[in-house]
Chains A and B, each alone.
Chain A
Amino acid sequence: MVRTGLLAALFLLAACSAGKAPAGPDDGVILAAAPAEKLSDYGLFVDMASASPATGVMAYDLINPLFSDHAAKHRFVYVPGGEPATYHEDDVFSFPVGTVLVKTFAFAPDMRASEEGQWRVETRLLIHKADGWAAYPYVWNDDQTEAVYTPAGKRLDIETISPQGEALSLRYAVPNQNQCKTCHQAGKAIEPIGPKARHLAHDGQLTRWAEAGILSGLADEVTGDPFAFDPSAPLDLRARAWLDVNCAHCHKADGSASNSGLWLASTEESATRIGVLKHPVAAGRGSGGLKQVIVPGDPDASILLLRMASTEPGIAMPELGRSVNDPEALALIREWIAAMEAE
């Protein structure tokens, strides 16, 4: 009985694969109501073992990536033929239905040389379905030949050496599917975070998107955010760019942390909203005994820095996706607050 069912299932699977091209994204799988069991089913990669993208799947990067326990990230975008994404100056580009944003997280034995011996841990897909974006986590097998849909998330033990040369034993968290939504929330919907002009505009990347036919309406002059750790750029812009990428997906009017009233997008103009002399609302022990989010000139009295430095659940910010802290970012935000003029 079991055998018959299994065979029937195998034939069905075979039938599904038989009709499609050997390489290239499978729009049917991409737009199906349910996520595929295996990452390979989408046809986003020509070869799973090397994770080389299929034709039409384009690699991209962000000027300032979100910090995720020092993981290396490989991003790809697939926009189905026919209709490009629409450019916006401040907001996320409007991508057509059928778009897939792919983000693979990887580690190496020594993140100072992250290309050497790198292994993939998870790939997250953000798919623009007919009724909105859906987020699906896939966890790679030990052989690095396949990644399997893992909606409940997972903790992985990872030993590595940080870019600063420090030995790390990570309890790396693959988020569950709902946690994907926590960060990607925009009101009742979910949406991508990274593909905004200010995050992408460097090294001719947006021009390449336009030339590839996946972006329309690109403005003539687009100024990207500065790289947060480029000391030649203005400190205020660097700090705000870092906060924008790492915090503002929740800390915005329609984000998961809207009720805090602490909004950290680089486009936010109110000093109180970004935390200057702002009292916490629901921080609980996250206040660490401090009274204000940012005390100009006094980083050690600023809750913002304290929560960035903590790794303790209930205190650590962001709440998800980080089990160790980011020394570079701590130094940047410390310098930024210290340089603010005390009132």
Chain B
Amino acid sequence: MIIRLSAIAGAATLLALAGCSPKSTEPPAPGIAGLPAPISAEGDFGATLQAALIAAQPGETIMLPEGTFQLSDGLSLDVSGVTLRGAGQEKTVLDFTGQEGAGEGLLVTSDDVTLMDFGVRNTKGDGIKSKGADRIIYRYLTVEWTGGPSETNGAYGIYPVESEDVLVENVTVRGASDAGVYVGQSKNIIVRNSVAEFNVAGIEIENSMNADVYGNVARDNTGGILVFDLPDLPVTGGNSTRIFDNEIIQNNTPNFAPAGNIVASVPSGTGVIVMANRNVHVFDNNFADNRSAHVLLMSYSLPITDETYNPLPRDIVLKGNTYGAGGNDPQGDLAPLAAALGGQLPPVVWDGVTAWGEGEAQTLNIAVNEAPEVGFISLGIGRYPIDPAAIAPSPERPVAEAAAEPAAVVLAHSDR
């Protein structure tokens, strides 16, 4: 009797399961040759996709159908070696406008994952985050907030953190209230051939080691490309980043980051900002129409309790960049300083800070190896906290010997 009852319950479950499966009355949509058919677009797409992400086996490719899909909760992937692939970054769109929970649209926590050919839209928090996800690829993705710059947009568009070997290529990120592409606390990074626009920071490399950022267009952000190091984090001591062959233009969007975030202090109209990082090489980029300054080299200025942290930029090399018009209307913290200097700033601006708190002056080795006609200014702040009486601006480039350029970043997985 007991057996029979459980059998009936079992039958009910089986029937219920059968009822849940998508009915294949039509042949599956033709897939790309050699790839599996897309998951069903019928029914509760979010549940279908999340179930597929959970049930995926290592090495599997999950295909997303063409279309725009409304998602009400965040998605997550925790299986290694999975490829999540759509029909194209404008053709398959995961729309989170009605999101009810989770801190991001898609969270990846496994290694060797490839995300490609789809879009993510209007997440409440971050767009796509990957944490502790080594050898990840973000390729041909669009992550955007469609209502234009707003402080209620999510913070980061593409957000790999605490990972080794990160490849971001051919992505478009738009509208992030912090950074469009943000790579944090990671090692071995390439961000290339991508477009970042209308974000507070276009592309940001933070507390990370060995990054190559090239072939990108950073335009209409508040700041184009940022290389920062911050205190009080599990990983500090960011170093060895090369920024080259990028178009860094017209990054004049007013800062729309919520106060409290470090990028809320980025002056609108900056091209590249290097803060408190070491061994950063900026070369062969094209800068134009950034109204505050094309390149800003600066120290961390907030109170510091982290004794292992160096707040100053060191071993910086600038060379071979092209600088168009700009510096004509400095914003934010640069505005009053610029006003004292006649209202304009040259292409390359250094805060001139060589010492922090009670510390001794450091040799920073900032090499401005640009053509002689490229303007430079040290704001001559000298030491933080600022003593206004001691500020001594100077157009003289610092004496420096260019630090050796880091070798090109080689990723184990970039031809995957």
Contact = CB atoms under 8 A, between A and B. Distances in A.
Contacts of A279: 230, 232, 260, 262, 302
Interface stretch (B73-81, B327-335, B336-344, B364-372): B73-81
A288 B258 contact: yes
Contacts of B238: none
B184 A259 contact: yes
Interface in B204-235: 230, 232-235
Contacts of A283: 155, 258, 260-261
Contacts of B153: 285
A37 interface: yes
B49 to A, nearest CB: 8
Contact of A313 (B99, B185, B230, B262): B99
B406 interface: no
Contacts of B99: 313
A173 B73 contact: yes
Nearest to A17: B6
Given A18-B3, A259-B184, A285-B155, A153 B102 contact: no
Contact of B103 (A178, A261, A273, A314): A314
A284 B126 contact: yes
Nearest to A285: B258
A149 B125 CA distance: 29
Interface stretch (A6-14, A58-66, A70-78): A6-14
Contacts of A146: 9
Contacts of A292: 260
A207 interface: no
Interface string A149-183: 00111110000000000000001010011110110
A10 B154 contact: no
A208 interface: no
Nearest to B77: A178
Given A152-B50, A182-B76, A10 B162 contact: no
A177 B185 CA distance: 27
| Size bracket of the B interface | 35 or more
Interface residues of A, number: 58
A83 B7 CA distance: 34
A146 B132 CA distance: 37
Contact of A291 (B50, B178, B230, B259): B259
A323 B101 contact: yes
Contacts of A153: 47, 50, 73
A148 B107 CA distance: 25
Interface stretch (B10-18, B243-251, B273-281, B387-395): B10-18
B182 to A, nearest CB: 8
Interface in A164-214: 171, 173, 176-179, 181-182, 185, 188
Contacts of B17: 37
Contact of B11 (A6, A154, A171): A6
Contacts of B126: 282, 284, 314
A18 B232 CA distance: 59
A273 B305 CA distance: 11
Contact of B78 (A181, A284, A288): A181
A112 interface: no
A10 B12 CA distance: 10
A314 B127 CA distance: 10
Contacts of B47: 152-154
A114 interface: no
Query: Which of B99, B101, B102, B306 has the largest count of A CB atoms less than 10 A from its CB?
Result: B101
Contacts of B7: 10, 13-14
- Most chain A CB atoms below 10 A, which of B6, B126, B262, B303: B6
Report the 4 A-B pairs with minimum CB-CB distance, sorted nearest first. A284-B155, A287-B260, A314-B125, A313-B124
Given A176-B73, A289-B260, 11 more contacts: A10-B10, A152-B50, A282-B182, A284-B125, A284-B126, A284-B178, A285-B153, A288-B260, A289-B258, A313-B102, A319-B101
17 contacts: A13-B7, A14-B6, A14-B7, A38-B13, A173-B73, A176-B54, A178-B78, A181-B109, A182-B107, A259-B235, A280-B260, A282-B156, A283-B260, A284-B177, A285-B154, A288-B258, A319-B103
